[in-house]
Amino acid sequence: MTTVAADLLASLKQQGRLSSEALHNVQLWLEDPSLAEFTPEIQSLAERGEWGELEDAFYKHINIGTGGIRGAIGPGPNRINTRTIGEAAQALCQFIDARGAAAREGGVVVGHEARLGSSDFARVCSEVFAANGIRSFRFDGVRSTPEISFAVRYLHATAGVQITASHNPKSDNGFKFYWSYGGQVVPPLDGEFMELVTQVRDIHRLPLEAGGERWVTQLGPEVDEAYLEAVGSLSVDNSRSAKIVFGAIHGAGKTNVLPVLERAGFSVQPVPEQLEPDSSFPTAAGKLINPEYREVCERPIQMAERVGADLAFCSDPDADRAAVAARTTGNAQALELLRGDDVGAALTHFVLNKRKQLGLGSPSDLVLETYVTTSLVADIARRFGVECIDDLNVGFKWMAQIIQQREDAGRIGYFFATEESIGYLAGNFVRDKDASIAALLVAEMASALKDRGQTIWGYLDEIYAEYGCYRNVQHLVELPGKTGMQVMREVMLGLRRSPPETLGGKKVLNVIDRLAPEKSARAAYAIGSGDDMVTFVLSDDQRNRVTARPSGTEPKLKYYIQLFEPVPASTPVPSVRQPLSTRALDLAREIVDLSGNVIGTDLPAAEQSQVAAWRQEWLSGVRRIV
């Protein structure tokens, strides 16, 4: 340990501001010569008195969630840096080794988006793979996450790694990996991978300039061309009348969304100041680059209104998610942002209807959605006679698993998948959500509707008139840091221990807990499991329900409210939709208020000061309704 590191460690011990877990990990980092590059950053945090940041960065190892390893960039085992990226890459080598020589020979596709450090982190991965005798396939720059999934299958590679934090704040980055079928691994394999990560002590790297380059294959335009051609093949309608504006938010959308729309023949104008990849994200809404949020999509929407466009698309940094804003009526100048549930339902109806008209239906066709996505998707699919799996956990990895199982069984039909968080997938060549697929199909839907004087908003009302009206709302509570994690844990424990008897004036008929009882007890419960989800059912058909779950990728608790009301014949849809929307919003606020009250109700009086602090932290959490 250097003198500077020793002095810093002594000072941290004297301050007594860190937990024993965090202090232990800081000491390991300061004593390790290979981590000496992080000493100045640790020292700077201490000098600035950022004890909460130091505690959160060092008190535990970063988790694997629904999107892989993801988090804030910085020093520490609970941050994204060359060490944690290297650990993940080294663990993947061991994961591959366990599956034999053929797996080693397949190699790994390595890609990255535009975030801070992405190119360097991708280089670390290639150097680790090279040191372990595994070839990597590299693109010449930024690529979208779905193209990495595509490339794994196209190149018959064993795995793929994308350096990305998807829609997380711009201060984050991550390591997302795909297996040979193009999807992310699911239990028990994800648990095996994470166990390997935690066991990594030595990271083997062969610098590219010192011989590692011979283990790297640089990819030419062939993969890009094959990917764009495959997306274009999903076209179901020839109309190109919709005028489109596209915002890439300085991410990878320039490599997939824009060329797909242009090749298809659409009139599309990119937002010029957002088109080029840029790790500083200069036009971001603060730290936010998640297009689920209206302020993130503001520039594309404003430009669309200014040029008289029908649609505004906005993709997230790795271009797997796509937000859609559309005119409310054909003559309206203003565009309104659609929720992912609304786009998913409209696309399901449009695509299945077009395929029926074209005689393209197959008994093997399949629609997939997560349980927290609107049940309208399943209603539509089944009305068209198409099988629908509608109770999946959050994350496209579950959909990819089912699609692969169907392929293995020879049941390859038309696959369409959607989730409420603006993710959409069609076809069988990508095994993750894809903003370019969404953009193509939504643009065709908007064009076909425009040709008959309709908009997506009006189309939704037509669907509600036929199927009944759904209102889906998501209420988020953001709770960063170690304390935030503790508060989320207490809320989920409390909701299980003391579920509400009524919500929104309706009796709670049933409580569905996806987490096994042995995992939900106080002594055993830990935030981060993919099945950590509790639903309060408000009607026998489960169409009215409230679900709570911690995010797998961000420090947030998420509440999903779904209400349903039939639309009687000859009744104007707005007269049902508007009051239903009001009720859904009220219910979203009610469940969040109730959640604060269940914190720590089982703890003894001696711990009530801690309970009070947790409840205060809950009240200070950032709230947002989507």
**Annotation says 166 is catalytic:** yes
Name, in order, each residue with C-beta under 8 angstroms of 206's C-beta and a sequence gap of 6 or more: 127, 130, 131, 212, 215
DSSP 292: T
Give me the DSSP letters along 549-590.
EE-SSSSEEEEEEEEEE---TT--HHHHHHHHHHHHHHHHHH
Element (H, E) at 403: helix 396-408
**HEC states along 462-483?**
HHHHHHCEEEEEEEEEECCHHH
Distance (Å, rounded) from C-alpha 293 to C-alpha 209?
43
Find the catalytic residue in 166, 375, 436, 520.
166
- Rounded to the nearest 10°, the torsion over CA 119, 122, 124, 126 is -130
Cis peptide before 574 (omega within 30 of 0): no
DSSP 366: E
Q: Give the 3-state secondary structure of residue 28.
A: helix
Q: Give the 3-state secondary structure of residue 226.
A: helix
Distance (Å, rounded) from C-alpha 260 to C-alpha 262?
6
Burial class of residue 524 (count of CB atoms within 10 Å of its CB; 0-12, 13-18, 19+): exposed
Report the chain's terminal Cα–Cα distance, integer Å. Answer: 49
Just list the catalytic residues. 166
